[in-house]
Structure 1
Amino acid sequence: MADSYRVHVTKDHLVFSAGHFVTITTPDVSFCERLHGHNWRVSADVTGPLDVNRYVFDFVALRDTLQRIVADLDHRMLLPTRHPQIPLAVSDREVEARYGDRRWVFPLEECRLLPLEQTTAELLAGWIGERLLEQIGPHDLSEICIGVEENFGQWAFWSRKFAAPQ
């Protein structure tokens, strides 16, 4: 039996305040939520073997990298660029979003356009996880898991497992 080690990071400052809206589709109805915001909280878990320093990953490096990613979302309107029912018209100054007969116009510098189908906590966790991996690389990690809390006690998680090093 092999030992497993995991590092968990969440801090009071790993939060971002952002607005969004999502669509809900059921067999009976399809609608778009009202524009609203959350004080989102982010956590990261990385699992893997101990390195030469006897830790899985440096807490400070993980925390600081995650902080930079989160800061990019803070005080922004989060808009999905791949939503099939919410077309975006982007100019050099503003973003127009439409859903049916509803229309919103936001200053471009106050938006974060995300290559997602929806701005759900689940997909935001995946987007954050991908950015984190781009910046830290997989190292010898066996798994990474990102959590996004959109409301107190309501978390969504994304994870990726890596093949064992050869």
Structure 2
Amino acid sequence: MSNTYHVRLRKEQFTFCAAHFITFAGNICEPLHGHNYRVAAEIAGPLDENEYVVDFIAARDALIAITRTLDHRVILPTSHPTIHVTSADNEVTARFEDRRWVFPASDCVLLPVSNTTAELLAHHIGEQLLAALAEHGFRPTSLEVSVDECEGQEGVCRWDDLR
């Protein structure tokens, strides 16, 4: 019989407040609005020489750093088929059909996603977390990241068989 191990990180510090809008049902675009997002991660892997899966402090600090980059920003997709985002002269412009939004560039985070859904935010945060853990020499066997946008409404992304 073999054991598997994982750790869960869910802390108040893994939160960020951000504005966004998404499209759905083809051509419906929500109004700009915000959420108080909460992030959690489950990291699996074998026990190391210290008998733990991953250094809690390194994982915690990585998630705090990642969520801080999103905090108090407007999150915009750069790969959306009908929302067009451009940046020039310290401004970011987003266009959808006849709607147009202009923001100071310093207030925006442009993400390489096709829509700023909780699921794709979880994917983005997970990719950032994997890169940060790799810098510490750790590669989990699996990773699950969830982004809760509204008390019990979570988007989840899971990576399996990472080794």
With the shorter chain as reference, the TM-score category is over 0.9
Structure 1 counterpart of 2:11: 11
C-alpha deviation, 1:58, in angstroms = 1.1
* 2:160 counterpart residue number: 161
Corresponding residue number in structure 1 for 2:144 = 145
Q: Deviation per CA, 1:47-86, whole angstroms, max 9, x where unpaired?
A: 1111100000111111111100000000000000010101
Structure 2 distance, partners of 1:108, 1:140, is: 34
Alpha-carbon shift at residue 89 of structure 1 (Å): 2.1
Q: 1:81 aligns with which of 72, 78, 81?
A: 78
Aligned-pair distance for 1:159?
A: 1.1
Q: Is the 8 A contact 1:49 1:140 kept in 2?
A: no
Give the % identical residues.
Answer: 47
Q: Is the 8 A contact 2:130 2:139 kept in 1?
A: no
Q: 1:162 offset after TM fit, Å? A: 2.5
**Pair 1:51 & 2:45 matched:** no
Aligned equivalents of 1:89, 1:80: Cα separation in 2: 10
Q: Secondary structure at the match of 1:113?
A: strand
Unaligned runs of 5+ in 2: none
Q: Tell me which stretches of 4 or more aligned residues in structure 1 moved more than 3 Å.
A: none
For the residue of structure 1 that corresponds to 2:70, the secondary structure is: coil
TM-score using structure 1 length: 0.93
**What is the aligned residue count?**
161
Instruction: Flag structure 1 segments of 5+ consecutive residues without an equivalent.
Output: none
Q: Aligned-residue CA RMSD in angstroms?
A: 1.2
